[in-house]
């Protein structure tokens, strides 16, 4: 992709809204003069910020649902001895469904967050630093293309991995710990070895222990593997630059 300067983004009359009427001069000087353009972009930024806040709240809603369902299952499983440990399989299934729903919502959140970050990095940052050297690039064309034809910036699988990495991996590990604890506490026999634990995983009704263990191992290997993969591949929304950078923000 060819990197373009601010002069490449001109309208049909040869004018560049970020550089003024004659297309010359520094961007910081012209942006101060072209109040209409700056005002329009500021309102555009506020609108996009409002969008991502709405989608952010929707992400929190599905996470809260997953926590509520998990808490309810834990309460029922540990308060009633006769409840089978297979209730945690139901818990896993519901959390996976909520994760899939949240991944879809996260794709919308990420799409609008990308616009906000584009404006912050290439429009507001040059105004704050009063320099046009950050205005280079094709950010204006990218923004216009996304306004004409909005697109997701990540795939659904990537969204699932990111939500696992940030929230749901802890829920799944908690469910796994509760499943093991339920077997130890409410097993029909005393568990003194791994073979005893394996035998206790039999859920009755003709379900073999190997099937129960295979489902648990397969599910959690997939969860942990996906989380590790996207932990190395996908960056965080915010970066940690170390204590020296943090000290600059102490006033």
Residue 146 covered by a domain: yes
Rounded average pLDDT over 8-12: 41
* Radius of gyration for the alpha carbons in the chain, expressed in angstroms and rounded: 26
Residue 82 covered by a domain: yes
Rounded average pLDDT over 37-53: 88
Tokens read off for 117 = 């970050």
Domain range for residue 201?
Answer: 6-247
Q: Are 209 and 202 in contact (CB under 8 A)?
A: yes
Residue 191 covered by a domain: yes
Question: What is the separation, in whole angstroms, between the first and last Cα of the chain?
Answer: 41
Q: Are 130 and 28 in contact (CB under 8 A)?
A: yes
Rounded average pLDDT over 237-245: 61
pTM, full prediction: 0.75
User: Mean pLDDT score of the chain, rounded to an integer?
Assistant: 80
Q: Identify the three-state secondary structure at position 92.
A: helix
Q: What is the pLDDT of residue 77?
A: 92
Question: What are the phi and psi torsion angles at 20 (to 5°)?
Answer: 100, -170
Q: What is the pLDDT of residue 70?
A: 95
- Split at pLDDT 50, 70, 90, the class of 67 is very high
Rounded average pLDDT over 72-92: 91
Residue 1 covered by a domain: no
Residue 94 covered by a domain: yes
Tokens 């005002």, residue?
Answer: 39
Residue 199 covered by a domain: yes
Report pLDDT digits (tens) over 203-239. 766 788 888 899 999 999 999 888 888 877 766 666 6
Tokens read off for 96 = 């996976």
How many domains does the chain divide into? 1
% of the chain surpassing 90 pLDDT: 33
- Split at pLDDT 50, 70, 90, the class of 197 is confident
| Per-residue DSSP letter, 136 | -
CB atoms within 10 A of CB 224: 15
Tokens read off for 236 = 């965080």
Least Cα distance to 191 among 209, 175, 205 occurs for 209
Report pLDDT digits (tens) over 138-187. 788 888 998 999 899 888 999 999 999 889 999 999 999 999 999 888 87
Residue 229 covered by a domain: yes
Q: What is the pLDDT of residue 6?
A: 39
């Amino acid at each position: 992709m060819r990197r373009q300067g601010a002069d490449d983004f001109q309208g049909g009359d040869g004018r560049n809204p970020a550089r003024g009427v004659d297309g010359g001069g520094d961007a910081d000087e012209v942006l101060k003069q072209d109040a209409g353009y700056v005002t329009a972009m500021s309102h555009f930024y506020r609108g996009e910020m409002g969008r991502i806040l709405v989608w952010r709240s929707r992400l929190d809603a599905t996470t809260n649902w997953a926590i509520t369902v998990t808490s309810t299952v834990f309460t029922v499983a540990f308060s009633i001895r006769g409840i089978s440990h297979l209730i945690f399989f139901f818990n896993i299934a519901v959390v996976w469904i909520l994760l899939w729903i949240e991944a879809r919502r996260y794709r919308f959140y990420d799409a609008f967050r990308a616009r906000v970050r584009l404006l912050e990095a290439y429009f507001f940052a040059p105004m704050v630093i009063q320099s046009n050297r950050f205005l280079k690039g094709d950010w204006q064309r990218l923004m216009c293309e996304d306004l004409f034809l909005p697109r997701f910036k990540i795939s659904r699988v990537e969204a699932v991995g990111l939500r696992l990495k940030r929230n749901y991996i802890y829920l799944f590990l908690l469910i796994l710990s509760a499943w093991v604890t339920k077997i130890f506490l409410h097993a029909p026999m005393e568990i003194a070895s791994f073979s005893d634990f394996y035998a206790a995983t039999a859920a009755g009704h003709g379900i073999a222990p190997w099937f129960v263990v295979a489902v648990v191992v397969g599910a959690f290997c997939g969860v942990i593997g996906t989380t590790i993969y996207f932990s190395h591949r996908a960056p965080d929304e915010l970066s940690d630059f170390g204590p020296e950078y943090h000290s600059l923000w102490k006033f």
